[in-house]
Chain A
């Protein structure tokens, strides 16, 4: 069964009466299975709100989210979530933190042992499995958090600015790690970011979101080959996509 995601007339209003703020929508969007879609927009445009509604952690005011044909009505468990502030707990090692995801779901650790090894190796953390998060740099922590978010083989991954707090150089490196992981696992990824380059580099599609209330202004298909390495990023096609998106935001006075 196809595991695509559908938003239909999705809308979120915070508060009631005259104080009500329409945070997001209405939005209609269809995301195919295995797609990597970026929600790109300035802060406060409701990107995170959309993600929270997708995961069922926040109720929509109007409209529906459908994943794989069934409507989202409560917290979804077949997803991997990641936030700007990671969910690594300080009392567990890197490996223990990845295992926490499985333990919370009552899954057998033995069965996933190889999977954990592979995941950690693919983000260059194999030598840090027994370290605690506070012994790691910010970038290493986020890579560990990626492993935690995807160890249970979720069909859908929701990443809410997971690179937001990292410095530019570390971001660059982790982007390629993330891309490789996605190419391996081929989960459907919804990625929230406010970096145009990041969105163009990682995504199959970029949903450009304009603020107040947040709505999807345009969906741009990024037709560039994967993996998008240094050469692709320096290509004129890449630059053209970036410019196209910049124009949209400039038209809205965002930049």
Chain B
């Protein structure tokens, strides 16, 4: 891949800070308002705790939180990974096969309309409280956006480029790797990103329904014990997990399609 002009790191960071100081100020302001509202309105601690207390109590329970982050993270990574590995080739196959387009494709569109999370209790009753049902649910909420975007991606090469490829007499594989695949990547990433957002939601809800460990389990238990401070600590780690996955996907996008309009910096 060709190299792109990069501004010196320091100057780029300075510029970013200049552009984002308002957001940072708002962010800090939000937590300050929260902190002092709890004190000012005299809200009981079992209803809402100030951020400072969340940090303090969360830190005291850090071992458990980290272990559960690892548990939920494993479910997310496995479910997401399997979804990518299976959905991409299937999307490709459907895009190029009129048989599959008439059979599996409408089926997938129908299933997409069903809220996948509604299957969660069933999978847990079939497969127990372990890792597998959670991975399957994460897989389900990730699989469909990736497949549908992949189908769109691989079937929307422009008329001109299609004719160009044919006029060169290049074979199927060469056409695929030199033109079709790179042209499809931006749309594929739309699916990858959407699925990355779904993944942690799926894992947390699956854990709510039936589990004995993980961040979803943790949030549910501590809320039942009137400990919103710990619930917020759990939500914080769940958010961190979601952001990390999304960040990795975004980074991959930057590396793989630096030329695309959604990625390139002007």
Report whether A104 and B160 are in contact in the complex, using a CB–CB cutoff of 8 Å. Answer: no
- Asked if A252 lies at the interface with its beta carbon under 8 angstroms from chain B, I say no
- Asked if A57 lies at the interface with its beta carbon under 8 angstroms from chain B, I say yes
- Asked if A194 lies at the interface with its beta carbon under 8 angstroms from chain B, I say no
Residue on B nearest A76 in the bound complex, by CB: B167
Residue on B nearest A101 in the bound complex, by CB: B168
Shortest distance in angstroms between A54's beta carbon and chain B's nearest beta carbon?
Answer: 11
Across chains A and B, the number of contacting residue pairs, with CB separation under 8 Å, is 64
Report whether B161 and A89 are in contact in the complex, using a CB–CB cutoff of 8 Å. Answer: yes
- CB contacts (< 8 Å) of B158 on chain A: these are 85
Tell me whether A75 and B167 are in contact in the complex, defined as CB-CB below 8 angstroms, given that A85-B158, A91-B182, A100-B178 are known contacts: yes
Report whether A87 and B261 are in contact in the complex, using a CB–CB cutoff of 8 Å. Answer: no
- Asked if B170 lies at the interface with its beta carbon under 8 angstroms from chain A, I say yes
Query: Among A79, A87, A93, A106, which residue has its beta carbon within 8 angstroms of that of B161?
Result: A87
Tell me whether A85 and B160 are in contact in the complex, defined as CB-CB below 8 angstroms, given that A93-B2, A104-B175, A132-B259 are known contacts: yes
Residue count of chain A within 8 Å CB distance of chain B? 27
Report whether A105 and B169 are in contact in the complex, using a CB–CB cutoff of 8 Å. Answer: yes
- Asked if A55 lies at the interface with its beta carbon under 8 angstroms from chain B, I say yes
Determine the main DSSP class of B at the interface with A: helix
- Asked if A83 lies at the interface with its beta carbon under 8 angstroms from chain B, I say yes
Report whether B178 and A75 are in contact in the complex, using a CB–CB cutoff of 8 Å. Answer: no
What are 21 sample pairs from A and B whose C-beta atoms fall under 8 A apart? A55-B163, A55-B167, A77-B168, A77-B169, A81-B164, A86-B160, A87-B161, A89-B161, A89-B179, A90-B260, A91-B182, A92-B2, A100-B178, A104-B165, A104-B170, A104-B179, A105-B170, A106-B170, A132-B2, A132-B259, A134-B259
Hey, which bits of chain A sit against chain B, CB under 8 A?
52, 55, 57, 75-77, 79, 81, 83, 85-87, 89-93, 96, 100-101, 103-106, 130, 132, 134
